[in-house]
Amino acid sequence: MSIPCNAVQETLAWNQPLDEAGQQHVRTCEACRSFGEQLKILDALVMDHASVDIPPGFADRVMAGLSARPARVPRARHRLSHALEFRSVHWVLANIGLLVTLSNLVRFVLSLLVPSTASGGSL
Amino acid sequence: MDDIAIIRQVLAGDRDAFRVLVVRYQRPIFRFLHSYRLSPAQREEIAQEAFTRAYQNLSRFDLTRATPFSSWLFTIAKNLAAHAWDRAAHQREQLVATLPEHAVDTVPVAQARLENAERRSLVALALAGLPAAFRNAVVLSCLKELSLEEIAAIEDCSVGTVKSRIFRGKQLLRAALIETEG
């Protein structure tokens, strides 16, 4: 019984097949064997609870409610156009900001080099 | 024919091919929706809406991605059901009163049917008592229609989280049923 009980019980709960060592563990471990049996009952109860009859004509009603074609919005194009639109707005805003910054920088440099420029050339 | 081939057919203009997907997934979807304590009419409405939305947005479904159509469809159904469940939250306290849709008969019923209804009601109560994430994981797992990876895609979490929720959810459910049976 080298495999811990918890590991075996988790595998049982996930409805995954046990490997040989796991099966050997269950054969010799009363707690895990009991847990497995209870899980089988539990799964059966949930399945039974979920066993529902499909309303007659359901598929017909679904089909009757559908348009002739699905909406034609190819995912890739939709994403691309959205990205372009999104990026173009940011591109314009970023460039306006850059121009304003450059303009202020030029004015600042000019004001240092030509003091009269800063004073509006009044002298 | 696999789901992707059918979706390609529908996108090419064969609307009727979508029926194959409806017929293929209607039972698992109804079974899944049954875990939400909604009226049969609400469940049908949600199931129909899920298929309709899937159809309408089919061109947005990425045919190349790893997530299969089933996960996508179940995600739509889950979101619709969760929304309806939230709307009905104030009625949840009246669960016991609304449960016996099978059991409340004014005429005598066969003992077997009554026991079956009682058992279903107990399971429904126990399921309703689980946190939504655990309930979804347990029910989707018990349906045996989806892999752990597909359930993870529906629940938008890792496979490890799904495994943990299934294990913990079943432990809680087992404890709740044992307690109920006294």
Min Cα separation A94/chain B (Å): 31
Average pLDDT, chain B: 82
CB-based contact, A13 to chain B, within 8 Å: yes
Question: Which residues from chain A sit within 8 angstroms of residue B163, using beta carbons?
Answer: 10, 14
- Cβ within 8 Å, pair B22-A59: yes
pLDDT tens per residue, range B20-43: 999 999 999 998 898 887 888 999
Instruction: With H, G, I as helix, E, B as strand and everything else as coil, classify residue B29.
Output: helix
Tokens of B123: 């399971």
Kindly list the residues from chain A whose CB atom is less than 8 angstroms away from the CB atom of residue B170. 13, 39, 42
State how far Cα B82 lies from the chain centre.
Answer: 10
Cα A28 to its chain centre, rounded Å, is: 43
Residues of chain A with pLDDT > 90, as a percent, come to 34
Structural domains of chain B in order of their starting residue, each with its CATH number? 1-92 (1.10.1740.10)
Contact B66/B142 with Cβ under 8 angstroms?
Answer: no
A52–B148 C-beta distance less than 8 A: no
Q: Which residues of A touch B19 (CB under 8 A)?
A: 59, 62-63
Positions in chain A whose pLDDT score sits under 70: 1, 72-89, 115-123
Question: Measured in whole angstroms, how far is the alpha carbon of residue B74 from the centre of its chain?
Answer: 8
Residues 36-75 of A with CB under 8 A from B: 38-39, 42-43, 45-52, 54-55, 58-59, 61-63, 65-75
pTM: 0.67
State the Cα angle at B29 between B24 and B34, rounded to 5°. Answer: 145
Q: Give the contacts of A56 (CB within 8 A, at least 6 positions apart).
A: none
> How is residue A91 written in tokens?
């591109």
H-assigned helices in chain A: 5-13, 20-28, 30-49, 58-64, 75-113, 115-118
Listed by number, the residues of chain A in 81-120 with a beta carbon closer than 8 Å to a beta carbon of chain B are none
B70 CA to centre of own chain? 12
Partners of residue B73 in chain A, C-beta under 8 Å: none
Which residues on A lie below 8 Å from B123 (Cβ)?
A: 45-46, 48-49
pLDDT tens for chain B, 182 residues long, are: 889 999 999 999 999 999 999 999 999 999 889 888 788 899 999 999 999 999 999 988 888 777 789 999 999 999 999 888 777 665 555 544 444 444 444 444 445 555 667 777 788 888 888 898 999 999 998 887 788 999 999 999 999 999 999 999 999 988 888 877 65
Identify the pLDDT of residue A84: 55
Residue type, A67: S
Q: Which of B71, B55, B49, B62 has the alpha carbon at shortest distance from B19?
A: B55
Instruction: Give the span between the Cα atoms of B55 and B13, in whole angstroms.
Output: 12
Q: Find the helix or strand (DSSP H, E) in which B43 lies.
A: helix B40-56
Whether complex ipTM tops 0.95? no
